[in-house]
A = this chain, B = another copy of it.
Amino acid sequence: MENRGPLERTPRTTLHRIPDRGSYDRDLAYSILDEGLYASVGIAVEGQPFVIPMVYGRMGDRLILHGAAASRLLKAGAKSTPICVTVTLVDGLVFARSGFHHSMNYRSVMVLGEATEITDTEEKLRALDVIVDHAVPGRSKETRPPNRKELVATRVLALSIVEASVKMRTGGPKDDDEDLELEYWAGHVPLRLVASEPISDAAHPPRAPMPEAVASYRRR
Using a CB–CB distance below 8 Å, which chain A residues touch chain B?
12, 16-17, 37-38, 40-44, 47-53, 55, 67-68, 70-72, 82-86, 88, 90, 93, 95-100, 102-104, 106, 108, 110, 112, 128-129, 131-132, 135-136, 139-140, 142-146, 150, 154, 167, 172-173, 175, 179-204, 206-211, 214, 217, 219
> Of the candidates B191, B199, B204, which one forms a contact with A189 in the assembled complex, judged by CB atoms under 8 Å apart?
B199
- Classify the interface of chain A: helix, strand, loop or mixed: mixed
Out of B17, B128, B150, B214, which one reaches A71, CB within 8 Å? B17
Query: Which chain B positions have C-beta within 8 A of A50?
Result: 12, 42, 84, 110, 112
C-alpha spacing A102/B135, complex, angstroms: 11
In the bound complex, do residue B196 and residue A193 qualify as a contact, i.e. CB atoms below 8 Å apart?
no
**How near does chain B come to A93, taking the closest CB pair, in angstroms?**
5
A100 to B149, CA, bound (A): 11
Residues in chain B near residue A209, CB distance under 8 A: 185
Which one of B84, B139, B183 contacts A49 once the chains associate, using CB atoms below 8 Å?
A: B84
27 contacts between A and B (CB under 8 A): A12-B48, A17-B68, A38-B90, A38-B106, A40-B42, A42-B50, A44-B48, A51-B110, A95-B143, A96-B143, A97-B144, A99-B144, A100-B144, A100-B146, A100-B154, A102-B139, A142-B184, A142-B185, A172-B202, A186-B201, A187-B199, A189-B217, A190-B199, A191-B194, A191-B219, A192-B194, A192-B196
Which of A90, A97, A188, A206 counts the most B-chain CB atoms under 10 A from its CB? A206
